[in-house]
Amino acid sequence: MSQETISGYDIFLTLIDMLFLFVLPSEGRSLHVRHCQQPDDIEEAFNNLRNQLDLTVLSNTESTEIIPCPSQTLSHHGDPQRLRSTCPWIWEANTDNTRYPQKIYNARCICRKCIGSSTKYHCESIFTRVKVFRILNCVNGLLRYVQDEQRVSVGCTCAHKRTHHNS
C-alpha cells in the first residue's frame, strides 16, 4: 500500500471548497486564534480565489486624505479620475482582523450633489462584491478560512434623485 502525501495547500483548498455552506462566525464572537498563524500559501490561495483581479479596493496605493467637496470639477492632467468626476470620491480603509485581506478600501463620495448639475441629481456610491476569506477556526496552530463575499463601494456616480410615489 502506498501512502499519498497531502500538502497543507491541498487541505486548505479542500476546506475552502467544502465550507461554502457553513455559517460564518459572528463579528463579536471570539475565535481564540491569538496563537494561530496564517498558512504560508494564503496569498497564493487568495489570488486563485479572486482570479487575478487587481481591484483598487484590495490594494489601494492612492492618497486617502480627506478633502472637501470642490465647487467645480478638477481638470488638471495629473488629477486622478476619482477627483475629476462630477461626484468625486476618496478611498477609506476598512480593516477587519477576521478577514483576508484584512484591509479593503471603500470609495466614499465627498459631495452630496453632483458638481455643476441641478438639484435633481445627487452622488451615489457604486457597489460590487469581492471575494474574501473569513477566519473559521484554528487547527494545529494554523488559521482555517472560509470563502465569503464582501460588498464594497468602488466609486461614485451622478444619478437622478429617486422619487417617492404615494400608493
Radius of gyration of the chain (CA): 21
Residue 108 in this model has a pLDDT that exceeds 90: yes
Half-sphere exposure of 49 (CA within 13 A, CB side): 24
* Cα–Cα separations (whole angstroms), residue 152 to 1, 41, 61, 118: 50, 25, 17, 28
- The more confident residue out of 81 and 16 is 81
Average pLDDT over residues 115-122: 89
Instruction: Give the separation between CA 63 and CA 138, rounded to whole angstroms.
Output: 35
Q: Match 475629476 to its residue by C-alpha cell.
A: 84
Length of the chain (residues) = 167
Looking at the chain, the whole-number percentage of residues with pLDDT higher than 70 is 68
Q: What is the pLDDT of residues 12-48, one digit of tens each?
A: 443 333 333 233 333 333 445 667 888 888 888 777 7
Q: What is the pLDDT of residues 40-80, one digit of tens each?
A: 888 887 777 765 444 555 566 566 677 889 888 877 777 88
Residue 65: exposure state from Cβ atoms within 10 A (0-12, 13-18, ≥19): exposed
Q: What is the pLDDT of residues 144-157, one digit of tens each?
A: 999 999 999 999 99
